Amino acid sequence: MKKIVILISGRGSNMEAIIRSLKAEDWPAEIAAVISNTEKAAGLATAENAGIATEVVSRGEFSSRQSYDTMLSEAIDRYAPDLVVLAGFMRILTAEFVRHYEGRIINIHPSLLPAFTGLHTHERAIEAGVRLHGATVHFVTPELDAGPIIAQAVVPVLPDDTEASLAARVLEQEHRLYPRVVRWFVEGKVRFDAGRVRLDDAINTPAEFILTGDFS
Ligand code: GRF
């Protein structure tokens, strides 16, 4: 049984998608805890309702980024997780923190990386006039949004898209993509090997790691 700790800062819809898939498909894993950097995260209630332990490690209590990250990793490590899942966790993590979890920390980013790192990705995709947009799940490395890519989901950008309509189309795919990648990790089908992603042959086909949206 693999142990997972999920970090959130907000609504937690990706977290919820992972909880649902894990329950429905019965993977050899348990979500040991959901940790937030703010008590305002709506996802905390969702996790509690699912019977999962929750914790808030609030940034206000600690002076430096380093001391915050030390407290955070102590909270995480009490659950001895095999995998740390960042699901809308809105903090930039220190290199020391990231290295501590090397190969067992993943993130979902709402763009087709390496395009549109950082914030406001949907607005920027529309402004840039790209025809395809999407989401990326990657291993976390010290450089923001730059870790090795595990899988991506692609959606079209339509002529009348607004930031909200595009965000909703991407989010729908995030909810398919992230649980799938977490499951691969739990089953040992994806791993981090000297800075690169190794995928099991069984999932190493384009149809598996590029999930396409509805292009109709
Ligand atoms: C998602 O768009 C995710 O890609 C990004 O933050 C958002 C989190 O949404 N990292 P939610 O809290 O999972 O609903």
CB-CB contact of 123 with 163 (8 Å):
yes
Number of domains in the chain: 2
pLDDT, one tens digit per residue, over 194-209 is 999 998 887 766 555 5
> Do 123 and 83 share a domain, yes or no?
no
What local confidence, expressed as pLDDT, does residue 203 receive? 75
130 and 95 Cβ atoms separated by less than 8 Å: no
The residue that leads in pLDDT, 63 or 182, is 182
Q: Is residue 14 marked as binding?
A: yes
> If you average pLDDT over every residue of the chain, what do you get?
93
Of 38, 123, 174, 177, the residue with max ligand 1 atoms within 8 A of its CB, to mutate for a pocket test, comes to 174
DSSP H stretches of helix in the chain: 13-25, 43-49, 65-77, 95-100, 121-128, 163-186, 206-209
CATH number of the domain that residue 161 is part of: 3.40.50.170
Structure pTM?
Answer: 0.95
Quick: pLDDT tens for 120-143: 999 999 999 999 999 999 999 999
Residues 83 and 154 in one domain: no
Residue nearest to ligand 1 atom 7, measured at CA: 88
Q: Is 133 exposed, middle or buried (0-12, 13-18, 19+ CB in 10 A)?
A: buried
For the cut 90, the answer to whether the pLDDT of residue 214 exceeds it is: no
Domain range enclosing 96: 1-101
Question: Which range (60-69, 111-120, 145-154) has the least confidence?
Answer: 60-69
